[in-house]
């Protein structure tokens, strides 16, 4: 890669979302915005070679893309109304402010619009990756294991709904903000989880998706510095991502938290996560992401599995369950209680969760039950539960882990 190619590739990662976001605000046309952004980056490849890399690549790219949009609109539209649109576009004050002026960043508008609840969840995820992160349709299709044509349709459908149903391009007003912010955080966390614990396929980890999720969460914390849950989400992602090198063994099999080689954890990511979390918690508005990050921090801070403060983790899960009543949270609390107070205490909680019926078909319910029974040396029951979990597990490494445990209790 030449220096120029590297400079453009770097600018692409830094500026793509901003260029697209600004062009959408100016033109109201998502397809036009994407196409003109693409052309601006293509132009950069040749022009930066002859003219040198501009001081402010983002401003150069946005201006180039805007001029391209102007050309296209002039050529294609003749009606008076459209000409007015063009005139408005050529106004001098339409370019984004690259300083720190407190003006709403277009990328925040874009993020909230991509994550609007009137879009399907999969549409929200795909649109966020395409318009904000700059992944190609083919890349997104590959990440979600669907044919490219399917992904293209999904993106088109979401963009058309935004246009035709009148979904506003804006940061929601105060009365909608908490709920809609929760929606944005949920999409980013879903993206992270899809990369961290793939829901299908043979690869358990997809670092491309976790990397994009972390990048977008970083952006969100910069754009919403007063939102502790945004920082909580970023901290949570970092603290989980820090363990990625130790989560799989050489055969690609899942390694349980207690068996992981903690020297392979990324200490810089853990430290950053803990610092972010501490700052967020000082705002005294703890929410689900901060609590989950606090739990991840308990693990991150423990030098060995035996040093883990399970009492604290059980308390945090209890607090989490109070805010987000969920059987999955209760299942996790059961695991923590089992570690703090013994497998029998945990099993009682797991059986309560199972009786609730909400998690029927969830492989981790059976897998957790199996592990607790194994620790209680109730081998026959443990084997039965491992067999149930095996049927329900979605990925190959999960199945291999369960098969290994099943062999242990059956021997």
Partner 1 sequence: MRYLLLMCGQVEAPEPAVVPEPRHASASSDGEEPCWMPWTREMEARGVILHDGAQLQPVATATTVRTSGDDILVADGPFAETKEVILGYDVIECADLDEAIFAASRHPVARDGGVVEIRPILAY
Query: CB of residue 27 vs partner 1: minimum separation in angstroms?
Result: 17
Choose the binding region for partner 1 from 42-50, 163-171, 233-241, 355-363 (rule: CB under 8 A).
163-171
Contact pick of 17, 96, 123, 172 for partner 1 (by CB under 8 A): 172
Q: How far is Cα 173 from Cα 130, in angstroms, rounded to an integer?
A: 25
Contact pick of 83, 88, 95, 118 for partner 1 (by CB under 8 A): 118
Choose the binding region for partner 1 from 8-16, 135-143, 164-172, 219-227 (rule: CB under 8 A).
164-172
178 binds partner 1 (CB under 8 A): no
Name, in order, each residue with C-beta under 8 angstroms of 174's C-beta and a sequence gap of 6 or more: none
Contact pick of 164, 226, 250, 251 for partner 1 (by CB under 8 A): 164
Burial (CB count <10 Å: 0-12, 13-18, 19+), residue 171: buried
Give the three-class secondary structure for 95. Answer: coil
The H-or-E segment that residue 131 falls in is none
Instruction: Choose between 116 and 130: whose C-beta lies nearer to partner 1.
Output: 116
Contact pick of 42, 95, 138, 176 for partner 1 (by CB under 8 A): 176
| 107 within 8 A of 223, measured Cβ to Cβ | yes
Give the three-class secondary structure for 248. Answer: strand
Query: CB of residue 13 vs partner 1: minimum separation in angstroms?
Result: 32
The residues facing 248 across adjacent strands are 254
Query: CB of residue 214 vs partner 1: minimum separation in angstroms?
Result: 29
177 binds partner 1 (CB under 8 A): no
100 binds partner 1 (CB under 8 A): no
**For residue 399, how many C-alpha atoms fall within 13 Å in the half-sphere facing its CB?**
12
Instruction: Choose between 27 and 240: whose C-beta lies nearer to partner 1.
Output: 27
167 binds partner 1 (CB under 8 A): yes
325 binds partner 1 (CB under 8 A): no
Token pair, residue 218, equals 């970083």
Q: How far is Cα 130 from Cα 114, in angstroms, rounded to an integer?
A: 10
Choose the binding region for partner 1 from 158-166, 294-302, 321-329, 367-375 (rule: CB under 8 A).
158-166
165 binds partner 1 (CB under 8 A): yes
Q: Binding residues for partner 1, how many (CB under 8 A)?
A: 9
91 binds partner 1 (CB under 8 A): no
Query: CB of residue 164 vs partner 1: minimum separation in angstroms?
Result: 6
Rg (CA), the chain: 24
Name the phi and psi angles at 146, rounded to 5: -125, 155
- Euclidean distance between the first and the last CA atom of the chain, given in angstroms as a whole number: 56
79 binds partner 1 (CB under 8 A): no
The H-or-E segment that residue 346 falls in is helix 343-356
360 binds partner 1 (CB under 8 A): no
Q: Report the sign of the C-alpha dihedral through residues 143, 146, 148, 150, in that order.
A: negative
Name the phi and psi angles at 254, rounded to 5: -70, 135
Contacting positions for partner 1 (CB under 8 A): 116, 118, 164-168, 172, 176
């Amino acid at each position: 890669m030449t220096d120029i190619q590297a400079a453009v590739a770097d600018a692409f990662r830094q500026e793509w979302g901003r260029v697209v976001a600004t062009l959408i605000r100016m033109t109201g046309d998502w397809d036009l915005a994407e196409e003109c952004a693409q052309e601006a980056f293509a132009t950069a490849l040749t022009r930066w070679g002859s003219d040198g890399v501009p001081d402010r690549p983002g401003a150069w790219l946005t201006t180039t893309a805007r001029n391209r949009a102007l050309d296209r609109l002039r050529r294609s539209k003749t009606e008076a109304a459209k000409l007015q649109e063009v005139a408005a576009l050529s106004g001098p004050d339409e370019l984004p402010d690259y300083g720190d002026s407190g003006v709403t960043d277009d990328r925040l508008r874009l993020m909230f619009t991509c994550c609007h609840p009137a879009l399907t969840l999969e549409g929200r995820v795909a649109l966020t990756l395409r318009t904000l992160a700059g992944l190609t349709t083919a890349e997104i299709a590959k990440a979600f294991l669907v044919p490219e044509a399917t992904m293209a349709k999904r993106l088109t459908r979401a963009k058309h709904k935004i246009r035709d149903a009148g979904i506003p391009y804006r940061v929601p007003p105060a009365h909608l903000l908490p709920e809609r912010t929760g929606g944005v955080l949920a999409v980013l966390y879903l993206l992270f989880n899809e990369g961290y614990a793939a829901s299908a396929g043979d690869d358990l980890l997809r670092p491309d998706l976790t990397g994009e999720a972390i990048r977008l969460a970083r952006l969100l914390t910069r754009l919403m510095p007063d939102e502790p849950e945004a920082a909580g989400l970023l901290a949570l992602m970092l603290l989980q991502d820090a363990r990625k090198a130790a989560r799989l063994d050489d055969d690609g099999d899942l390694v349980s938290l207690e068996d992981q080689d903690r020297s392979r954890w990324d200490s810089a990511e853990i430290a950053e996560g803990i610092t972010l979390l501490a700052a967020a918690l000082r705002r005294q508005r703890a929410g689900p992401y901060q609590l989950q990050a606090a739990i991840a921090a308990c693990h991150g801070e423990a030098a060995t599995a035996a040093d883990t403060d399970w009492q604290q983790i059980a308390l945090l899960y209890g607090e989490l369950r109070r805010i987000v009543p969920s059987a999955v949270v209760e299942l996790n609390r059961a695991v923590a209680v089992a570690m703090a107070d013994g497998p029998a205490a945990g099993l009682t909680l797991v059986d309560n969760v199972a009786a609730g019926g909400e998690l029927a078909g969830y492989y981790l319910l059976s897998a957790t039950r199996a592990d607790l029974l194994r620790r209680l040396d109730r081998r026959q029951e443990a084997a039965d539960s491992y067999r149930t979990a095996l049927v329900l597990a979605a990925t190959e490494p999960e199945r291999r882990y369960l098969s290994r445990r099943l062999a242990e209790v059956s021997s």
